[in-house]
Structure formats: C-alpha cells, structure tokens
Chain A
Amino acid sequence: MNEFSLWTVFTLVVGLVAILAFIAGNAMALVWMERKVAGFIQRRPGPNQLGPAGVLQSVADAVKLLFKQILKPSNADSIIFFLAPILSFFPVALLFMPLPFSPFFTAYSPNLGLLLILAFSGINVLAVLLAGWSSNNKYSLYGAARGVSQSVAYEIPLLLAVLAIAFQHGTLNLSEIVEQQGGWPWQWNVFTQPLAFLIYFISIFGETNRSPFDLPEAESELTAGFHTEYSGMGFALFFLAEYANMVLVCCVATALFLGGWKGPFLDGFWWFLAKAYGLLFIMMWVRWTYPRARFDMLLNLNWKWLLPLGALNLLATAFVMKLF
C-alpha cells in the first residue's frame, strides 16, 4: 500500500474528488436534517415548502449565500480575513482520506491514519483564531479566544479515549481497528470501552463547537462569535467546515467504537453511513434539547471529570492488556 505507484496517485485523486463531493452533499443533507430535526423537536413541521418535505431548502440557502455581497470591515486584515475561512475548510478533505467507509471505499489507508486525523483536525482551531483576530471586532476576538481554550482543553480527553482504543488493538490504522471488531453489537469496542466512548462523545461536542458547548459562537453574548464579520461565502465556508467536522468525528467514532462497516449481515459502507448518521442525529438531538453551558462549567467538566476519567481508563486498559 505504501509504495509509490501510478495506481496510488490515481486512487488518491479519485478519492479526493469523491470526498469533496461527499462533503458538500453531506453538508447540504445535514443542514436540511438539522432544520427538520429542530422542527420536529419543537413540534413544528420545519422547512416543507421548497421541494418534497423541503429537501431543496439547503440548495436555496447555498445559492443565496453564494450570491450575497462579501464585506470586509475597513480595519480588518485583508489577507488573513480571507485566508481564515479557506483554512478552516482546507484540511477537511485531507481528514476524510483515511476513513474506512468499507474495505473498498478507503481513499488512503496509512498506518498512522488516526494520528493523521488527530494532527490535522487542529488546523480548524487555527482558522478560528485567525478569523477572530483579523476581523478587528471585539466579539470575534472573544469568540476566537474561547474557541481556542475550549478546543485545546477537549483535545486531551479525546486523545486519551482514542489512545485506549489504540492500546487495545495495537494499531493506529483505522481499517485494521475495524477489522478486529465483529459484526454484532457486543463485538464492538463500545462494549469493551464504554467509558472511552462516553468521553469521546462528550469531547466531540467541545471539539466541533456544537451546542451545548457552542461557546465560540454564543449568540446571546457574542453576536455570532468568531464569524461575526463574515458574510456570504466566508460564512458559508465556516458553516461547511463545521458540518464536515461533525461528519468526520462521527465517522471516526463509528470506526473506532461501533464496528465501522461491519453489521450483523451484509457488511458494507451502508452500515458505516447508517451508524455515522445515527450519531449525527444524536448530536442534533442534544443541540436542540440542552441549553448552552457556561464557560466555567465547560472547562470544569473537562479538567475535573473527563481528563482524570480518561487517564484512569487508559491506565486500566494498559493494565488489562498487559495481564491478558
């Protein structure tokens, strides 16, 4: 797999194109799904006028955002201001490469796939910071500062949870981790590592800035947080990156904890997508159910609970792996 050949280049290119299409299609579907879920949770129909059950709603939104005027505040830093949304979306394509949708639908399966994802998902934080800094707006800067402290904090328990899985399987290759799990739910890692799954699932809310941890864009205090000054496509790119990151973390959770493409019968990418979308639905459910956490609560939860628990879990895993 690792030697360089024309075939590798070909799969990489095809994989990248497919991944970009996948991301864009997913973001559209998720925006529609989010609004429908929000509607049903609040006993409203949600968008239902444009297309059957409103499925074309996100197309209308996308076209509108595309044709909206792009403004730059006069005192903003022109280069960084326009670089930030691009930078937030740019690593996403790379992050999807090592995801094993099925044994066949894997664009690139390196030995350090998990490390690749963990390393490059950090770039998103940089984009948030640059956006907040370059907008020359107090709300943006506050939002960016929150985003950075939150992401840095939640990266650690996330890493500890993922590390426990890596200990258990002795590999950082996502495909191999899936291979070692079975098709039935009790053969999945969520069964052997429930605490790690819980820590991972709580941490990804902090990582993707989703409610109840959407402090960087808390509209009650910070207008729109780090993307306050972005209109049109700048805002759309941040939006796209947010949804792509949601898909990504849910896909990683599927591969690590829920047995990836394996199911009780007929293994294939449909199992992967179904599980990932189940997790995405839970993320939306949480968003429309819980109020936003205060910032000290957010960090207390992380430093006082998730981090020690994650460390303990890792120790216990190491101990058990050594013993048996």
Chain B
Amino acid sequence: MAAQDQTLIPPIAPTTGTVDKPVVPLPGVADWLVNFCRSYSIWPMTFGLACCAIEMMGVGMARFDMSRFGAEVFRPSPRQADLMIVAGTVSRKLAPAIVRLYEQLPAPRYVMAMGNCAISGGPFAFKDQYGIVLGVDTILPVDVYVPGCPPRPEALLEGIFQVQRKLTGRRLVAVPAGLDLNMEQDTVRNNPGNTGEKA
C-alpha cells in the first residue's frame, strides 16, 4: 500500500453492498444440503481482466475441465452468477465498474482473487505507481485467494474447492494420491515471489 500516494489519488469507494439475511432461516440439515447443492453449482461470471483470464479460460477447456464440478456455466449476466473470479489486474479506472458488478450479484455470492495482481497488485506494486488497485480486497470482500502469476489451472480448481469448503465446511473433492495438501507451504514454495501472507 505504501506506494500509493493518497494525497494525489482520490481513494476508491469500496463496496457497501451487504448480503441480505435469509427471510426464513433453514434448519441445520436442510441448510447443509442446500449449501452442498450450491457448492456443486458455482456459476462464475464471464469476466476477465488480464493475462490471468487466459488461464481461467484454460480451466474450462478439455485438459482441466471445471465442468466436472458443475462450475463451467459462465454466466454473462451478474444476476445469474454466483462467483466473481477477479482474474487479472484491477486498474483504478476499472475499479468502480468492478464494485458495481459485485453489487449486482444476488446473494449468496463469492469473490475469488485470482493471481498476484488481484491479491496485492503483484508485479505492479512498485514505488510511485498510480494506476493499479493494490489488491482487490481493498474494494471487495474476497473469499478465496489463488496466488500465482498466473496461477496454474489446477490452482484455480483448488480455489473452487476452497469455495466449496467455505460453503459446506469440508473438502468435497478427494485429494489425489501422493499430493501433500499443506496448502500454505506449497504456495510459498512454488511461488518464491509471494510472501505467503494472504495465501
């Protein structure tokens, strides 16, 4: 944040949109079942900002295929989407539009910051830089961070599993054999540039 000169650049208004409380709260089991269904039907918004979006497209293609987890339905209208994947560099000019898109999502809604740019400004966080929002979490409430520049498609899939975990409280997709799922250490080891603070 230090590089941002607050006296020259007016701050961006972060979102004030809050999620409405459910009208009728569901009893425990039903609530879990509904959340389970939600977690297998996470429709992302068709929305990409920079190079990370290319990787996001890759996840929809044959090799990685996020449709296996029911998440390939990219909805162009925010009204029908559940997940906002902020894939790429958020410039200050674009920030109000992104805030508005977030506010147009109906509840329940989730935000994923994909790539170092969206997490912290990534390669753009240097002295006297004036055009880039350093971290989309300064303007939106972010649920899941997927680090990398760009993150591997597997990482984005893992991000979706984390949204599922947030919904249901457990990991729904089995960990492949031989994979050490100590997430924090893995992230730091594979991305030396990342401090791992927000991973």
Contacts and interface: CB of A to CB of B under 8 A. Distances in A.
Interface of A: 35, 38-39, 42-50, 54, 57, 59-61, 63-64, 67-71, 219, 223-224, 227-232, 235
B82 interface: yes
Contacts of A39: 65, 67
Contacts of A59: 37
B80 interface: yes
Interface in B30-77: 33-34, 36-38, 40-41, 46, 61-62, 65, 67-70, 72, 75-77
Interface residue SS majority, chain A: loop
A224 B76 contact: yes
Given A67-B34, A219-B46, A223-B77, A46 B40 contact: no
Contacts, number: 92
Contacts of B82: 64, 68
Interface residues of B, number: 27
A46 B67 contact: yes
A64 B41 contact: yes
B174 to A, nearest CB: 10
B77 A57 contact: no
Contacts of B76: 219, 223-224
A67 B30 CA distance: 11
Interface of B: 20, 33-34, 36-38, 40-41, 46, 61-62, 65, 67-70, 72, 75-77, 79-80, 82, 106-108, 173
B170 to A, nearest CB: 15
Contacts of B77: 223-224, 227-229
A74 to B, nearest CB: 12
Contacts of B106: 68-71, 231-232
Given A39-B65, A47-B68, A57-B40, A63 B79 contact: no
Contacts of A42: 61-62
Given A69-B20, A70-B106, A230 B68 contact: no
